[in-house]
Every structure is written in C-alpha cells, then in structure tokens.
Amino acid sequence: MSNWALIIYCGLITYLTRFSMIALIKKEMFNDRVRQVLSYVPSAIFPAIIFPAIFLDNSGSILIEDNPKILAALIATLIGIFSRSIIATIFSGLASYWFLIFVV
Amino acid sequence: MKSSLKVFLKGIIDVSPLMIPVVPFGLIFGVLAIDVGFTPLETMGMSLIVFGGASQIVLLQLFSGGASSLVIISSVGAVNSRHLLYGAVVSEHLSDLKLIWKIIISYFLIDQAYAISNDYLKKNKDQNRYFHLVGAGATCWVIWQSTTFFGIILGAAIPEKLGLSFAVPLTFLALLVNDFRKFINVIIIIISGLVATFGYNFIPFKAYAIVAGLTGLLVAMILTKMIKTNE
C-alpha cells in the first residue's frame, strides 16, 4: 500500500468514528456498563505505545540497564501526578532525558 | 440570540487555553514524520486528511516499526474508539442539525473542541449554538496545521542526537495524567504496557498495540465488575 493510500485510509477511519459519533450513535445505545468500559480505552491503549517506546531499543530487545528513558519517564509520571499538566509532563520528561544523556 | 459570528468567536476564545499543549504535540509530529521517512507533502497531507494527534502519532510509531498497513489502520481505529463515548454524550445536543452540517462538523470534532463546546451546548439552546463548535474546531485546525508545518521545517535542523522520538511516549503519558491517581486505571495501564512490551516481538503482524489494548479493556471489564459486586 502506498503512503498516500495509508494516510487516506487512516483519515477515513478517524473521520468515520467522529461522524458516527454525532450522526449514528444515540445515548440510549450504550448502557452504563458499556460507557464505563469505554471510559477505560485511553488507559488500555496508550500504554501499548508508551511502554515499548521506553523499554525497547531500536532492534526491539528489552533494555533495562543503561536506559535513561526509564528514569526520565518516571520523573515525567511523578510530575504528571502532582501537576496534572500535559505540558509539565512532556517538558519534565524531555528535560530529564537530556540531562541524563548530555550532563550525567 | 447572539450573532453566529459572536458564537464562533466565543468558541475560539474558550478553546484557546487548551491549545497550549497542542503546539509541542504538532511540532513533534512534524519533526518525527520526516524522521520516519515521510515526505514533507505526505506529512502535511496527514495533518490535513487525518487531523487527529493521537491517530497520526500511532500511525508514525507503527509505520516506523514496520507494521503492515492493515495493522496500522486497525490500530488507528482502536485509538479512535474512545471517541464513541463522547458521541453518546454530544449527539444529544446535535441531533436537530442538518446532515450537511453533521458532515462538516465531524471533521472538526477533535477532543479539545468537543470538551469545550459540550459545556456551551449544554447551557445554550440558541439555533446557531453549533458555531461554537465550529469556532473551537477551526482554531485547533489552524494550530495543528501550522505547527505541523513548522515541525517539518524544524525537522531538518534538529539533530537526531536529541532523541526527540522520546517525545512520543511522553505525549501519550501526558494524555493519561488524570488517570494516574485511579487504582483501576493504573492496573490497566501496567498490564497493557507489559503485554505490548513483551509481546512486541512475538505477537504476529506487529499487532501488539491492538492485543495490548484489548487485554486492557478485558481487565477493565473484570475489575469494574468485581468492584461493583463488592459494593
């Protein structure tokens, strides 16, 4: 599949989710139980992007020792818990990562 | 009734504070897309066609890991499934809109615009109240397209040594800041993360994101049921 086809399909599926939200889905279609489980979708799917990007090296093997990303991610998480700020989380993580690779 | 222009401007003003985190997100996307091997034109096309931060970063991440197109597209679908929940809430306020407006508004219905306009739509019953959502969405659109553009330009100037790809897990981590204090969420986050990390090399077709996401949802179903029966 060409890059453009891939982009268009990803755009279509994103658009269709949004369109179905306002045009097809009615409040009555979801009971409380389904709504409750759907509210956990971000917690269920985002870690699948977060964890491998932190714990795996470029070849896909698990890297624990000598991996500054782990400590930087922990710092970012702590800052996130206390500040609840998206910006503070991103920048504290990047700053500590740069500190660990360039200064330490 | 306020004029449509006023409602539109109110949407712009209300959504503005939420645009602050979008700026680094857009820049990072532009830089990384070039880094992963998309052309500047394809990168700009992605922001114009997909217009969704999480979708686009998932696309990049899986593309760079060598996942097949089918896996990438279904993972983007999985990431977007969280929107179905919003739909159940927002559709109430939009039900009397003409179909053509629903088609247009759908393109702009991103998290930030939805979050801010839902409050407005709840409190106002004017016929032109939808212009609030259009104003908020259009603001996000301008910010997202321009930061993507600057990211593409910056991309050439940023040395690989900076390790900016680390910004991807950080941005997703940042999207979960409100969930770190909730017990069930933390369990789900850890289980999904472990499944993805250990399954990365074993789960066929690089479908680790989907498998981990479904495992996380299964855990959510079990835990919410258990906690309910205990009450």
- Would you say residue B170 lies in a domain? no
Residues B150 and B215 in one domain: no
Q: In angstroms, rounded to a whole number, what is the distance separating the alpha carbons of residues B151 and B158?
A: 10
State the nearest Cα–Cα gap between A65 and chain B, in angstroms: 16
- Would you say residue B39 lies in a domain? yes
Q: In angstroms, rounded to a whole number, what is the distance separating the alpha carbons of residues B3 and B120?
A: 15
| Residue that is last in its domain, among B122, B143, B164 | B164
- Would you say residue B71 lies in a domain? yes
Q: Which residues of A touch B100 (CB under 8 A)?
A: none
Instruction: Decide if A43 and B49 are in contact by the 8 Å CB cutoff.
Output: no
Residues B45 and B158 in one domain: yes
Instruction: Decide if A69 and B166 are in contact by the 8 Å CB cutoff.
Output: yes
Q: Which pair of structure tokens corresponds to residue B77?
A: 């679908």
Residues B185 and B222 in one domain: yes
Residues B146 and B218 in one domain: no
Give B 119-158 residues with CB within 8 A of chain A.
Answer: none
Confidence label for B98 from pLDDT (cuts 50, 70 and 90): confident
Instruction: Decide if B196 and A4 are in contact by the 8 Å CB cutoff.
Output: no
Query: In this predicted structure, what is the pLDDT of residue B175?
Result: 83
ipTM: 0.89
Instruction: Decide if A17 and B77 are in contact by the 8 Å CB cutoff.
Output: yes
Residues B130 and B19 in one domain: yes
**pLDDT single digits (tens) B125-149:** 888 888 998 999 999 999 999 999 9
State the nearest Cα–Cα gap between A33 and chain B, in angstroms: 9
Q: Is the confidence at residue B114, as pLDDT, over 90?
A: no
Residues spanned by the domain of B29: 4-164
Q: Buried (b) or exposed (e) across B17-32, using 16+ Cβ within 10 A?
A: ebbebbebbbbbbbbb
| Residue that is last in its domain, among B143, B164, B185 | B164
User: Which has the closest alpha carbon to B180: A43, A4, A7?
Assistant: A43
- Closest partner CB to A13 (pick from B38, B77, B198): B77
Mean pLDDT within B29-45: 93
Q: Is the confidence at residue B26, as pLDDT, over 70?
A: yes
**pLDDT single digits (tens) A33-85:** 887 888 888 899 899 989 999 999 878 889 999 999 999 999 999 999 999 88
- Would you say residue B169 lies in a domain? no
| Residue that is last in its domain, among B141, B164, B187 | B164
- Closest partner CB to A10 (pick from B55, B97, B219): B55
Q: Which residues of B touch A53 (CB under 8 A)?
A: 61, 165-166, 168-169
Residues B50 and B159 in one domain: yes
Give this prediction's pTM: 0.81
Query: In this predicted structure, what is the pLDDT of residue A42?
Result: 86
State the nearest Cα–Cα gap between A66 and chain B, in angstroms: 15
User: Which has the closest alpha carbon to B194: B211, B169, B170?
Assistant: B211
Instruction: Decide if A22 and B87 are in contact by the 8 Å CB cutoff.
Output: yes
User: How many structural domains is chain B composed of?
Assistant: 2
Residues B49 and B146 in one domain: yes
Q: Which residue matches tokens 């939200």? A: A21
**pLDDT single digits (tens) B155-196:** 878 777 777 788 889 988 988 888 899 999 999 999 999 999
Query: In this predicted structure, what is the pLDDT of residue B85?
Result: 65
Give B 7-66 residues with CB within 8 A of chain A.
Answer: 20-21, 24, 38-39, 42, 45-46, 49-52, 54-59, 61, 63, 65
- Would you say residue B126 lies in a domain? yes
Residues B114 and B194 in one domain: no
- Would you say residue B22 lies in a domain? yes
Q: Is the confidence at residue B231, as pLDDT, over 60?
A: no
Mean pLDDT within A72-101: 93
Query: In this predicted structure, what is the pLDDT of residue A100?
Result: 95
- Would you say residue B171 lies in a domain? no
Q: Which residue matches tokens 């050439």? A: B156
Confidence label for A27 from pLDDT (cuts 50, 70 and 90): low
- Would you say residue B52 lies in a domain? yes
Contact B92/A at CB under 8 A = yes
Higher pLDDT, A33 or B153: B153
Confidence label for B222 from pLDDT (cuts 50, 70 and 90): very high
Query: In this predicted structure, what is the pLDDT of residue B88?
Result: 64
**pLDDT single digits (tens) B189-211:** 999 999 999 999 888 877 888 89
Mean pLDDT within B100-110: 87
Confidence label for A13 from pLDDT (cuts 50, 70 and 90): very high
Q: Which residues of A touch B173 (CB under 8 A)?
A: 46, 50, 73, 76-77, 80, 89, 93
Residues B200 and B110 in one domain: no
Mean pLDDT score of chain B: 87
Residues B142 and B93 in one domain: yes
Query: In this predicted structure, what is the pLDDT of residue B229?
Result: 66
Residues B39 and B148 in one domain: yes
Residues B206 and B181 in one domain: yes
- Mutation target to probe the A interface, by most A beta carbons within 10 A, among B27, B84, B158 is B84
Query: In this predicted structure, what is the pLDDT of residue B86?
Result: 65
Q: Buried (b) or exposed (e) across A21-31, using 16+ Cβ within 10 A?
A: bbbebeeeebe
**pLDDT single digits (tens) B62-95:** 998 888 999 999 999 888 877 776 666 677 777 7
Mean pLDDT within B111-123: 79
A·B CB contacts under 8 A: 269
Mean pLDDT within B104-124: 82
